[in-house]
């Protein structure tokens, strides 16, 4: 994490409209300057067409596979969709209040979504937000207008991690036209219906992207000694000697992650495991870089 972001990446700043807006701007403008320019694509960007090479074109855009077939130098163009709708869904259940190194999953999610929302705004996409738990459903309907991003950030700031995963999620499964759905969650739910919900989001016309947040210590049980762990949502407790259970725990968690990844990929849903100790700007840069490679 760069020094400027490190100074800003604090709960008291993330949880203010101006602070979250500033962090999003710094992250995205970093993508669009200097050595990161080639990675600064919109998340709704799609392949458009070929055209003949012209002097001055970036040589990196040359399609060598097309040249091998036709012996013609052509440039593979992409353009940014101006009519795509991007819906961001944030899991705001109480388990998202889990934190490591002073930053909770929900705060990390807020920064990620704010940065992606800012990037989508710059590419003229309509953005909407849905913050979900069983106590409330925070909704900012997708729009593209001058004040939408501030409504978006304001709703993010007001999100609180409480209760369980939401039960009234049917309004979110309302597919009208071409859209992209970005879901940020830790995939913990009491009734084990989160994967089913994600599966129902996917249609032949849309794209669904899941960011799965976990802490490094949470994933590895990297504690020493005997601890009593409490479930943030059910309040149930269990005493664990980490020296005895660590290996078994890690095997079970890794198996769960792999099964989840495979299940979602089988349904053509993009899955990314994100660690809380990974700087947000690196997480988004890697995501956009991978996405750009898929468009080639």
75 with 143, same domain?
A: no
248 with 258, same domain?
A: yes
200 with 67, same domain?
A: no
60 with 153, same domain?
A: no
238 lies in some domain = yes
pLDDT level of residue 38 (50, 70, 90 thresholds): very low
54 with 142, same domain?
A: no
147 with 209, same domain?
A: yes
- Segment 162-209, tens digit of pLDDT: 998 876 676 676 666 678 999 999 999 877 788 989 998 998 888 999
The domain of 228 spans: 3-34+82-295
With beta carbons less than 8 A apart as the criterion, state whether 292 and 41 touch. yes
Decide which of 80 and 251 is more confident: 251
- Segment 41-67, tens digit of pLDDT: 556 554 455 667 777 677 777 777 777
39 lies in some domain = no
116 lies in some domain = yes
40 lies in some domain = no
Domain containing 268 — which CATH number? 3.40.50.410
188 with 272, same domain?
A: yes
66 with 101, same domain?
A: no
First to last CA, the chain: 29
115 lies in some domain = yes
**Which tokens hold the place of 16?**
């203010």
Please state, in angstroms and rounded to a whole number, the distance separating the CA atoms of residues 67 and 156: 47
pTM for this model (two decimals) = 0.81
- Of 117, 120, 141, the C-alpha closest to 130 is 141
159 lies in some domain = yes
226 with 277, same domain?
A: yes
Please state, in angstroms and rounded to a whole number, the distance separating the CA atoms of residues 176 and 153: 24
74 with 213, same domain?
A: no
Beta bridge partners of residue 158, listed in sequence order: none
30 with 140, same domain?
A: yes
269 lies in some domain = yes
pLDDT value for 209: 94
Please state, in angstroms and rounded to a whole number, the distance separating the CA atoms of residues 109 and 185: 8
Please state, in angstroms and rounded to a whole number, the distance separating the CA atoms of residues 175 and 197: 14
232 lies in some domain = yes
Q: Number of folded domains in the chain?
A: 2
7 with 68, same domain?
A: no
**Which tokens hold the place of 123?**
């590419």
With beta carbons less than 8 A apart as the criterion, state whether 288 and 272 touch. no
């Amino acid at each position: 994490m760069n020094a400027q972001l490190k100074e800003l990446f604090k709960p008291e700043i993330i949880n203010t409209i101006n602070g979250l807006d500033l962090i999003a701007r710094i992250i995205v403008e970093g993508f669009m300057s200097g050595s990161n320019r080639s990675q600064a694509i919109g998340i709704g960007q799609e392949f458009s067409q070929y055209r003949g090479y012209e002097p001055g074109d970036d040589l990196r855009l040359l399609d060598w596979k097309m040249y091998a077939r036709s012996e013609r130098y052509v440039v593979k163009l992409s353009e940014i969709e101006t009519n795509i709708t991007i819906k961001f869904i944030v899991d705001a259940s109480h388990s998202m209040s889990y934190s490591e190194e002073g930053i909770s999953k929900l705060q990390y999610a807020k920064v990620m979504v704010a940065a992606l929302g800012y990037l989508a705004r710059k590419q003229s996409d309509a953005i909407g937000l849905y913050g979900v738990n069983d106590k409330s459903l925070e909704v900012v309907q997708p729009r593209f207008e001058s004040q939408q991003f501030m409504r978006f950030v304001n709703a993010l700031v007001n999100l609180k991690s409480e209760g369980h995963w939401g039960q009234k999620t049917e309004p979110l499964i309302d597919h009208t036209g071409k859209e992209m759905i970005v879901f940020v969650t830790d995939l913990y739910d009491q009734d084990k219906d989160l994967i089913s919900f994600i599966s129902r989001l996917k249609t032949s016309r849309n794209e669904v992207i899941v960011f799965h947040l976990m802490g490094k210590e949470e994933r590895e049980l990297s504690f020493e000694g005997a601890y009593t762990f409490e479930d943030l949502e059910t309040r149930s407790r269990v005493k664990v000697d980490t020296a005895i259970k660590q290996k078994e725990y890690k095997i079970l968690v890794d198996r769960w992650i792999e099964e989840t990844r495979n299940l979602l990929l089988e349904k053509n849903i993009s899955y990314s495991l994100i660690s809380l100790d990974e700087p947000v700007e690196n997480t988004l840069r890697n995501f956009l870089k991978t996405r750009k490679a898929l468009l080639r």
